[in-house]
Structure 1
Amino acid sequence: MTTEQTPRDGAVDRQPDWWHRDHPTFTALTGFFSGLAFVIVIPGVFAGILHLLFDDHTAEDLFPLVLVMLGVPAALITAPRTRRFGLYMLIGMVATALVVGGVTALVLWYLFQYQD
């Protein structure tokens, strides 16, 4: 049916089936990029909130509590309905951490190797 045609009398305009069910590619991409954003955004927001609520020394002491965020993908993996999303979220978190760690190591190596 094209946009110029109208449904016949009694015909119901039906939504596409793929729109109403979980699409595996959409779930995987959403989980991966959620994990990426989770690793980048959550520690920064957590540090900002801690510095707003507490003095600097207390905020620095409480910052390791941000590791509690690792419980989010673990909880998602345990539930059968969200297992796929949680797995790809964990993959996104690990991939982001590896890339950040690798780039940091490369930059530090370059700085120490070629310092004047």
Structure 2
Amino acid sequence: MFIVDRELERIERAGTPIRVGMVGAGFMARGIARQMLKYTKGMELVAISNRHPDGARKVYGESGVSDVVQARSAAHLDECIARGQRAIVDDPTMLCDAERVDVVLEVTGAIEFAARLVMRA
């Protein structure tokens, strides 16, 4: 077992998972979401951003998550996360601005877009 796996298990047991917001809902996002939602301890995919919200909803659905909320603002996203709800957003900057998102994972493959978002995060 790797050191990171042990740390993630410790985080899981403590009930303080790393809250991840993911930008993108394509091929790579589907695989990452499935891995995180089904197999990764200590991390929680709390939100997916995509310019087409149905794409984000589909990524969750393919991993067995059907109850998602479309957040309207960073504050609303924080409320959803606090209630334990998974969310979708159409504006990736909401993930950067939300207090309850610990990590923003950018998987769109659009380098210029990603660079701007990463600088904001």
TM beyond 0.5: no
Looking at secondary structure, tell me which structure has more helix per residue.
1
With CA pairs under 8 Å and 6+ residues apart, which has the higher RCO, 1 or 2?
Answer: 1
TM-score by length of 1: 0.25
TM-score by length of 2: 0.24
